Amino acid sequence: MSFYEKLKFDADGLIPAIIQEHKSGRVLMMAWMNRESLEKSIATGKTHFWSRSRKAFWMKGQESGHTQNIRDISFDCDGDTLLIQVDQAGAACHEGYQSCFFRSVEPDGGCRVTEPQLKTPEQIYGKK
Amino acid sequence: MSFYEKLKFDADGLIPAIIQEHKSGRVLMMAWMNRESLEKSIATGKTHFWSRSRKAFWMKGQESGHTQNIRDISFDCDGDTLLIQVDQAGAACHEGYQSCFFRSVEPDGGCRVTEPQLKTPEQIYGKK
């Protein structure tokens, strides 16, 4: 029985994929996959997603070089969320942080940045 | 400036919340919050979600006693996903596993269970 039969894609054919750094356990990002991007991810060993805003496939690191090599793919009890362990090259966040979750909520209702910015977006993507 | 202003709830007023065990780094589950369930979570220190199928609030552990005490709430660069660090009482998964992500994909396209079942659902919820 293929594991695909245990997955539930939503009405738009999408499933959220949580990306976790294998060596550190740091949750790096969350993005969306459809069946084809999941198949591409498995076939290539690198994460591929579906952009809901651009309605296009994208491989993580395609522009930045900050690719994700897949170590493990798991899915939850309801089959409606993926958890993917990766080896992350460079910063996962397009803003230059290791993780997209670089801000935490403060008791006063504000927020604070919790990790250093490794690069600026200009350093990653060049001046636009 | 309130961090709520940085969050983007979807067309249904929802935002996905990834729940990670603080002490182990294990990703336990993913569930959905609306603004009110996030406010309840912050006010009580325990995770509250919105059930899309039942259209109702639920506090994690309400029936099972397997509550989640919140240690930290972070959000991603796009403001459309939450990552919440918790101290988990008992098993996070309603099927009795520590994490809902207890199955991984195998190279042959099948899947394997990767962690022990701590309790059966009957032991958690009683015979129905």
- Percent of chain A residues topping a pLDDT of 90: 95
Residue A103 backbone dihedrals phi, psi, to 5 degrees? -125, 135
- Percent of chain A residues topping a pLDDT of 70: 98
- Percent of chain B residues topping a pLDDT of 70: 98
Predicted confidence (pLDDT) at residue A128 exceeds the cutoff of 60? no
Q: What is the mean pLDDT of residues A6-30?
A: 97
> What is the average pLDDT value for chain A, to the nearest integer?
95
pLDDT of residue A16: 98
Q: H or E stretch including A36?
A: helix A35-44
Separation of alpha carbons B98 and B89, rounded Å: 10
Predicted confidence (pLDDT) at residue A101 exceeds the cutoff of 80? yes
pLDDT of residue B3: 95
Q: H or E stretch including A69?
A: strand A68-75
DSSP A37: H
Give the pLDDT band (50/70/90) at residue B17. Answer: very high
Q: What is the mean pLDDT of residues A55-81?
A: 96
Predicted confidence (pLDDT) at residue B68 exceeds the cutoff of 80? yes
Bridge partners of residue A82, in order along the sequence: A17, A75
CB distance B109–A2 less than 8 Å?
A: yes
Question: pLDDT tens digit string along B87-111?
Answer: 999 999 999 999 999 999 999 999 9
Which are the contacts of A60, defined by CB distance < 8 A and separation ≥ 6? A19, A31, A46, A47, A48, A49, A66, A67, A68, A92
Q: What is the mean pLDDT of residues B117-121?
A: 94
Give the pLDDT band (50/70/90) at residue A72. Answer: very high
Predicted confidence (pLDDT) at residue B128 exceeds the cutoff of 60? no
Give the pLDDT band (50/70/90) at residue A126. Answer: confident
- Residue B87 token pair: 């101290």
Contact call for residues A29 and A44 (beta carbons, < 8 A): no
Chain B hits for A72, Cβ within 8 Å = 104-105
Chain A hits for B92, Cβ within 8 Å = none
Q: What is the mean pLDDT of residues A49-53?
A: 94
Reading phi first (left if > 0) and then psi (alpha if -120 to 50, else beta), residue B13 is in left
Predicted confidence (pLDDT) at residue A66 exceeds the cutoff of 80? yes
CB distance A30–B81 less than 8 Å?
A: yes
Q: What is the ipTM of this complex?
A: 0.96
CB distance B100–A94 less than 8 Å?
A: no
CA nearest to B91, candidates B74, B63, B67, B58: B67
Give the pLDDT band (50/70/90) at residue A127. Answer: low
Nearest to A29 among B20, B76, B114 (CB): B76
